[in-house]
Chains A and B, each alone.
Chain A
């Protein structure tokens, strides 16, 4: 079965600095990868997804992610962090684009300090 790993529980960055939230995945077939963000006591908001095509995917709020097949990674990045980016970020993978079975990582808490 597919799975994702988010190796960092917590990421701290200073406002204005670039940020990276790491995600690695494991699937036996083609991966379909997603990033979601969760603010306190809220549901998940969709940020971006990789299905096929360009390895660099651009999403909401200035976020982007790079699909790296050889490293089985899909790291989330932003060139210049904002304090308002502080939240919980989840990476998710589906094996097969029409598959209902989506697996989430454990989440990474991003804190951006002024």
Chain B
């Protein structure tokens, strides 16, 4: 149990376009989902936390208008990178947990390359 999927696993897009990444909890209902960004050979940087039906809470320095997060259901959260630029190229990882005391379970990640 506690499987989290992400789609797509990798995406290449042109500069200026928008890209949507989906994160799904396959066998549980996720009250809270998280979005992380990971640069090569670095740790995970938390971008935002979202609770189902509520607006996401963004970490300091993360542009909420650029990284749109929607957590419309207990099994789905989406991250949309708007007007992507090459510096947005990164590995984006989501995670989810069932309740406030649960372990976080991570998705397999999405590699975004912006040309």
Residues of A participating in the B interface, judged by any CB pair closer than 8 Å = 34, 36, 41-46, 49, 90, 97-98, 100, 102, 104-107
Contacts and interface: CB of A to CB of B under 8 A. Distances in A.
Interface of B: 2, 4, 6, 32, 34, 41-44, 46, 49, 91, 93, 95, 100-101, 103-109, 111
B108 A42 contact: yes
A105 to B, nearest CB: 6
A44 B111 contact: no
B93 A44 contact: yes
A49 B102 CA distance: 11
A34 B103 CA distance: 9
A100 B108 CA distance: 20
B41 to A, nearest CB: 8
Contact of A45 (B6, B41, B42, B106): B106
Nearest to B10: A41
Nearest to B99: A98
Contacts of A45: 106
A96 to B, nearest CB: 9
Given A41-B111, A42-B108, 13 more contacts: A41-B91, A43-B4, A43-B6, A43-B93, A43-B95, A43-B106, A44-B44, A44-B106, A45-B106, A102-B46, A102-B104, A105-B43, A107-B42
A43 B107 contact: yes
B43 A90 contact: yes
A106 B42 contact: yes
A88 to B, nearest CB: 9
Contact of B105 (A46, A98, A100, A102): A46
20 contacts: A34-B103, A41-B91, A41-B111, A42-B109, A43-B93, A43-B106, A43-B108, A44-B44, A44-B106, A45-B106, A46-B2, A49-B103, A90-B43, A90-B44, A98-B100, A98-B101, A100-B49, A100-B100, A102-B46, A104-B43
Contacts of B6: 43
